Protein backbone atom coordinates (compact mmCIF):
# COMPACT_ATOMS: atom_id res chain seq x y z
CA UNK A 1 0.00 0.00 0.00
CA UNK A 2 1.12 3.49 -0.84
CA UNK A 3 -0.27 6.53 0.93
CA UNK A 4 -0.73 9.69 -1.12
CA UNK A 5 -2.20 13.13 -0.55
CA UNK A 6 -4.07 13.99 -3.72
CA UNK A 7 -5.90 17.31 -4.05
CA UNK A 8 -5.87 17.60 -0.27
CA UNK A 9 -7.24 14.13 0.47
CA UNK A 10 -5.24 11.21 1.82
CA UNK A 11 -5.61 8.16 -0.42
CA UNK A 12 -4.37 4.62 0.19
CA UNK A 13 -3.52 2.82 -2.99
CA UNK A 14 -2.69 -0.83 -3.59
CA UNK A 15 0.02 -0.45 -6.21
CA UNK A 16 3.58 -1.64 -6.71
CA UNK A 17 5.96 1.15 -5.66
CA UNK A 18 7.48 1.47 -9.13
CA UNK A 19 4.10 2.00 -10.83
CA UNK A 20 4.13 5.43 -12.47
CA UNK A 21 2.10 8.00 -10.56
CA UNK A 22 0.07 8.60 -13.76
CA UNK A 23 -1.42 5.10 -13.73
CA UNK A 24 -2.18 5.25 -10.04
CA UNK A 25 -4.05 8.52 -10.57
CA UNK A 26 -5.92 7.19 -13.59
CA UNK A 27 -6.43 3.46 -13.12
CA UNK A 28 -6.60 3.34 -9.31
CA UNK A 29 -8.05 6.70 -8.31
CA UNK A 30 -10.01 7.36 -11.55
CA UNK A 31 -8.74 10.91 -11.73
CA UNK A 32 -8.88 10.82 -15.51
CA UNK A 33 -8.16 14.50 -16.13
CA UNK A 34 -4.43 13.71 -16.10
CA UNK A 35 -3.61 12.30 -19.52
CA UNK A 36 -1.35 9.63 -20.99
CA UNK A 37 0.46 10.95 -24.05
CA UNK A 38 3.91 9.44 -24.51
CA UNK A 39 5.02 7.59 -21.37
CA UNK A 40 8.55 9.02 -21.55
CA UNK A 41 8.17 12.63 -20.31
CA UNK A 42 8.28 14.08 -23.82
CA UNK A 43 4.81 15.60 -24.20
CA UNK A 44 3.66 16.94 -20.84
CA UNK A 45 0.07 15.64 -21.09
CA UNK A 46 0.52 13.91 -17.71
CA UNK A 47 1.78 16.98 -15.83
CA UNK A 48 0.73 17.23 -12.17
CA UNK A 49 2.16 19.18 -9.26
CA UNK A 50 4.21 17.57 -6.53
CA UNK A 51 4.46 20.01 -3.62
CA UNK A 52 3.66 22.72 -6.16
CA UNK A 53 6.36 21.73 -8.68
CA UNK A 54 5.28 20.50 -12.13
CA UNK A 55 6.32 16.89 -12.75
CA UNK A 56 5.64 14.36 -15.51
CA UNK A 57 3.59 11.73 -13.72
CA UNK A 58 4.15 9.12 -16.45
CA UNK A 59 7.81 8.89 -15.53
CA UNK A 60 7.63 9.23 -11.74
CA UNK A 61 7.20 6.13 -9.60
CA UNK A 62 4.33 6.46 -7.16
CA UNK A 63 6.77 5.78 -4.34
CA UNK A 64 8.45 9.13 -5.08
CA UNK A 65 5.15 10.87 -4.44
CA UNK A 66 4.49 9.21 -1.08
CA UNK A 67 4.12 11.78 1.66
CA UNK A 68 4.05 14.69 -0.79
CA UNK A 69 1.15 16.80 -1.91
CA UNK A 70 -0.09 15.81 -5.35
CA UNK A 71 -2.27 18.31 -7.21
CA UNK A 72 -4.04 17.34 -10.44
CA UNK A 73 -6.23 19.22 -12.91
CA UNK A 74 -9.21 18.22 -10.77
CA UNK A 75 -7.73 20.15 -7.83
CA UNK A 76 -5.83 23.02 -9.41
CA UNK A 77 -8.86 25.30 -9.45
CA UNK A 78 -8.52 25.59 -5.67
CA UNK A 79 -5.24 27.47 -6.09
CA UNK A 80 -5.10 31.16 -6.92
CA UNK A 81 -2.94 30.66 -10.02
CA UNK A 82 -4.85 27.58 -11.18
CA UNK A 83 -8.19 29.34 -10.89
CA UNK A 84 -6.94 32.31 -12.92
CA UNK A 85 -5.42 30.04 -15.56
CA UNK A 86 -8.55 27.93 -15.99
CA UNK A 87 -10.74 31.01 -16.25
CA UNK A 88 -8.43 32.50 -18.89
CA UNK A 89 -8.41 29.21 -20.81
CA UNK A 90 -12.18 29.30 -20.99
CA UNK A 91 -12.30 33.02 -21.85
CA UNK A 92 -9.89 32.47 -24.74
CA UNK A 93 -11.52 29.22 -25.93
CA UNK A 94 -8.01 27.74 -25.88
CA UNK A 95 -8.80 24.02 -26.22
CA UNK A 96 -9.45 22.37 -29.55
CA UNK A 97 -9.35 18.60 -29.10
CA UNK A 98 -8.48 19.39 -25.49
CA UNK A 99 -6.45 16.31 -24.75
CA UNK A 100 -3.20 18.10 -23.90
CA UNK A 101 -4.87 20.97 -22.07
CA UNK A 102 -4.84 19.50 -18.56
CA UNK A 103 -1.08 19.29 -18.81
CA UNK A 104 -0.82 22.74 -20.36
CA UNK A 105 -2.91 24.22 -17.54
CA UNK A 106 -0.80 22.47 -14.89
CA UNK A 107 2.43 23.81 -16.43
CA UNK A 108 0.96 27.29 -16.80
CA UNK A 109 -0.36 27.30 -13.23
CA UNK A 110 3.06 26.33 -11.87
CA UNK A 111 4.63 29.13 -13.89
CA UNK A 112 2.15 31.74 -12.65
CA UNK A 113 2.50 30.62 -9.06
CA UNK A 114 6.20 31.52 -9.31
CA UNK A 115 6.12 34.47 -11.70
CA UNK A 116 3.29 36.92 -11.47
CA UNK A 117 4.10 38.49 -14.86
CA UNK A 118 5.97 35.97 -17.00
CA UNK A 119 7.83 37.19 -20.08
CA UNK A 120 7.62 35.45 -23.46
CA UNK A 121 10.93 33.79 -22.67
CA UNK A 122 9.54 32.56 -19.33
CA UNK A 123 6.51 31.16 -21.15
CA UNK A 124 8.70 29.44 -23.75
CA UNK A 125 10.83 27.89 -21.01
CA UNK A 126 7.92 26.73 -18.89
CA UNK A 127 5.65 25.54 -21.69
CA UNK A 128 7.95 23.97 -24.30
CA UNK A 129 7.71 20.59 -22.58
CA UNK A 130 3.99 20.45 -23.39
CA UNK A 131 3.06 19.35 -26.89
CA UNK A 132 -0.21 20.41 -28.51
CA UNK A 133 -0.96 18.68 -31.82
CA UNK A 134 -3.86 21.06 -32.51
CA UNK A 135 -1.39 23.95 -32.43
CA UNK A 136 -3.03 26.12 -29.76
CA UNK A 137 0.30 27.59 -28.62
CA UNK A 138 -0.53 31.20 -29.47
CA UNK A 139 -3.83 30.96 -27.60
CA UNK A 140 -2.03 29.36 -24.65
CA UNK A 141 0.44 32.23 -24.58
CA UNK A 142 -2.35 34.80 -24.74
CA UNK A 143 -4.31 33.06 -21.99
CA UNK A 144 -1.28 32.89 -19.69
CA UNK A 145 -0.72 36.62 -20.09
CA UNK A 146 -4.40 37.29 -19.50
CA UNK A 147 -4.39 35.06 -16.42
CA UNK A 148 -1.34 36.91 -15.11
CA UNK A 149 -3.08 40.25 -15.60
CA UNK A 150 -6.33 39.07 -14.01
CA UNK A 151 -4.55 37.45 -11.05
CA UNK A 152 -2.66 40.69 -10.44
CA UNK A 153 -5.89 42.63 -10.39
CA UNK A 154 -7.58 40.13 -8.08
Partner 1 sequence: MRAQPMNASRREFLKTSAMAGGGLVIGFTLPGAARLAQGADKAVPMSAYLRIAPSNEITVVCGLSEMGQGVHTAIPMLVAEELDADWSRVRVEQAGVDQAFANPIFGMQATGGSTSVRGHWEPMRKAGATARAMLIAAAAQTWKADAADCRTERGMVVHKSGKKLSYGQLAGKAAQLKPPADVKLKDPARFTLLGKSGTRRLDSAAKSTGRAKFGLDVYLPGMLTAVIAYPPVPGGKVASVNDAKAKAVRGVRQVVQIPSGVAVLADGYWAAKLGRDALEIQWDHGANASLSSEGISKMLSAGAATGGAVGRNEGDAKAATPAKKIEAEYEAPYLSHSCMEPLNCTAWVRKDGVEIWAGTQSQGPAQGILAQVAGVAPGKVKVNTMYLGGGFGRRFAPDPVVGATVLSKITGKPVKLVYSREDDMRGYFYRPASVTRMTGGLDADGRATLFSASVASPSIMEGSHFMKLPPDGVDAFGVEGIRDCPYDIPNLRVEYSRQEPGGLQVWFWRSVGHSQNSFFLESFVDELAHAAGKDPFEFRRSLLGKQPRYKGVLELAAEKAGWGKPLPAGVHRGIAVVQSFGSFCAQVAEVSVGADGTPKVQRVVAAVDCGMTVNPDIVKRQIESAVVYGLTAALYGKITFKDGRVEQSNFHDYRMLRMSEMPAVEVHIVPSTEAPGGIGEPGTPPIAPAVANAIFAATGKRIRKLPILG
Question: Per CB under 8 A, which of residues 119..138 are in contact with partner 1?
Answer: 123-125, 127-138
- Per the CB < 8 A criterion, the answer to whether 114 and 44 are in contact is no
In 3D space, the residue among 10, 43, 44 whose CA is nearest the CA of residue 29 turns out to be: 10
Rounded CA-CA distance 9/142 in Å is: 33
Given the complex with partner 1, which of 90 and 117 has the nearer CB atom?
Answer: 90
Tell me, by CB under 8 A, how many residues bind partner 1: 57
Q: Which CA distances in Å does 11 have to 29, 104, 123?
A: 8, 25, 33
| Shortest Å distance, C-beta 19 to partner 1 | 5
Q: Does 95 bind partner 1 (CB under 8 A)?
A: yes
For residue 47, the cross-strand partners are: 56
Cβ-based nearer residue to partner 1, 3 or 138: 138
- Binding residues (CB under 8 A) for partner 1: these are 16, 19-20, 23, 26-28, 30-40, 42-43, 45, 72-74, 77, 86, 89-90, 93-102, 105, 123-125, 127-141
Amino acid sequence: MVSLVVNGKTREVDAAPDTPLLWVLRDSLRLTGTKFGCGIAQCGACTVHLDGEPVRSCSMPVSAAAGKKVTTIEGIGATRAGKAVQAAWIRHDVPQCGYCQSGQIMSASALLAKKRAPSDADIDAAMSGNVCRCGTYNQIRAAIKDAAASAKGA
